[in-house]
Amino acid sequence: MEEKQTEISQLGEFGLIDRLTDGLVPRNESTLRGVGDDGAVLRYPSSDVLVTTDLLLEGVHFDLTYVPLKHLGYKAAVVNFSDIYAMNGTPRQITVSLGISKRFTVEHIEALYSGIRLACEIYGVDLVGGDTTSSRQGLVISITCIGDALSDEIVYRDGAKDTDLICVSGDLGSAYMGLQLLEREKVASSGQRDFVPQFQGKEYLVERQLKPEARRDIIEELHKADIKPTSMMDISDGLSSELLHICKQSHTGCRIYEDRIPIDYQTAVMAEELGMNLVTAALNGGEDYELLFTVPLHYHEKIESLPGIKVIGHITKPELGCAMITRDGNEITLKAQGWNPLLETDSE
């Protein structure tokens, strides 16, 4: 039996907000007042405030043909948390603004919010406000995340130094391969009513694309080991692109090694199936939301002992440029070939 669908106009803006945010209880002392007034009230007496925002557009950043709304809400929140962790901070609050077209019902937006609220619950973040409006271009999601960190604990992109070790968490390329798998099955399903997608043995790839996690665990491990990175970013646009950002802002070069780039078995199998270059996917795929960071050379033994972290190269003097050493010893210049949303828009 099909569930009843409620038109958003029946509730109105404030009725919808009340329904979506019912029962929210602040988790952080810095949240003095959340949803329900003209603005949230936050207080950070002894730490610096970190702010990041992401704008997601249907048809550019996500495809609702295969992205469940709950997963989309979870991912939209988590990728913002990831930016705060990448500065060695702790996410505390988010605001959520939505542009909603007429094809969405109250139940659709509730599903989206259920994912956002789940992410907030898992990561201990307060949803403190936002806005809703109509959209003629499908679904638009804008999330702003506010976090904090002690002044001397914040890590920027511009602190890498010659001889620093280059480290990454987790594995790379899996989210991109998950996207390729979802796109393949979307094409295969065209015109079929009872289509069953073929995800067997590749569930990890689908999860990495639809439900990524922010690497709070890695930040906690680094804190426990008393290691503060000299520079750090999360990998949203691809390893090559992010590493070039760090090197440009730190005025350095780098060398990474092909055989040290961590790649999951399912990623390798998928790349072979699709006839794609595995290393290219790992370098340029993006959306892994792993942490890329540098640490001083004397932390080598310490960092190698931490689970989930791999040393993939080192920072060099700027005149040496940025390159990858291949398995056969050749040098390939790194290029920022990760996804660029500004190139994806259709010309008028």
Instruction: Name the band, by pLDDT with cuts 50, 70 and 90, for residue 6.
Output: confident
CA pair distance 315, 253, nearest whole angstrom: 6
For residue 346, what pLDDT is reported? 44
Neighbours of 219 (CB within 10 A): 23
Neighbours of 193 (CB within 10 A): 5
* pLDDT of 24 above 70: no
For residue 42, what pLDDT is reported? 76
In DSSP notation, 38-82 reads SS-EE--SSSEEEEEEEEEEBTTTB-TTT--HHHHHHHHHHHHHH
HSE toward the beta carbon, residue 198, CA cutoff 13 A: 8
CA pair distance 239, 278, nearest whole angstrom: 13
Higher pLDDT, residue 147 or 190: 147
List Cβ neighbours of 31 (8 Å cut-off, separation of 6 or more): 40, 41, 42, 92, 93, 126, 128
* pLDDT of 348 above 70: no
Instruction: Name the band, by pLDDT with cuts 50, 70 and 90, for residue 257.
Output: very high
Topology annotation, domain 165-338: Phosphoribosyl-aminoimidazole Synthetase; Chain A, domain 2 (3.90.650)
List Cβ neighbours of 75 (8 Å cut-off, separation of 6 or more): 115, 210, 211, 212
The pLDDT tens digits of the residues spanning 41-56 come to 778 888 999 999 999 9
Instruction: Name the band, by pLDDT with cuts 50, 70 and 90, for residue 338.
Output: low
* pLDDT of 14 above 70: no
The pLDDT tens digits of the residues spanning 183-209 come to 999 998 887 877 878 899 999 999 999
The overall average pLDDT reported for the chain is 90
Class of domain 12-153: alpha beta
* H-only helix segments in the chain: 8-21, 69-85, 106-123, 174-189, 203-210, 216-224, 239-250, 265-274, 278-284, 300-304
- Between CA 306 and CA 177, with CA 270 as vertex, the angle to 5 degrees is 70
Q: Would you list the domain boundaries of the chain?
A: 12-153, 165-338
Tokens 């050749």 identify what position? Answer: 330
CA pair distance 217, 183, nearest whole angstrom: 31
Q: How far is CA 55 from the centre of its chain?
A: 12
The pLDDT tens digits of the residues spanning 324-337 come to 999 999 999 999 87
What would the mean pLDDT of 167-179 be, rounded to a whole number? Answer: 97
CA pair distance 118, 125, nearest whole angstrom: 10
Interaxial angle between packed helices 203-210 and 174-189, expressed in degrees from 0 to 180 and rounded to the nearest 10: 100
- Between CA 191 and CA 196, with CA 194 as vertex, the angle to 5 degrees is 100
For residue 39, what pLDDT is reported? 63
* pLDDT of 296 above 70: yes
Structure tokens at 21: 């945010």
Structural contact between residues 230 and 331, judged by C-beta atoms closer than 8 angstroms:
no
The pLDDT tens digits of the residues spanning 210-254 come to 999 999 999 999 999 999 999 999 999 999 999 999 999 999 999
Structural contact between residues 214 and 82, judged by C-beta atoms closer than 8 angstroms:
yes
Structural contact between residues 199 and 298, judged by C-beta atoms closer than 8 angstroms:
no
Question: How large is the greatest C-alpha to C-alpha distance in the chain, in angstroms?
Answer: 67
Pairing between β-strand 309-316 and β-strand 253-257 as defined by DSSP bridges: antiparallel
HSE toward the beta carbon, residue 334, CA cutoff 13 A: 29
Least confident of 34-38, 81-85, 305-309: 34-38
In the β-sheet with 48-57, what is the strand arrangement from edge to edge?
Answer: 48-57, 140-149, 90-100, 126-134
Q: Give me the amino acid identity at 139.
A: L
CA pair distance 137, 74, nearest whole angstrom: 22
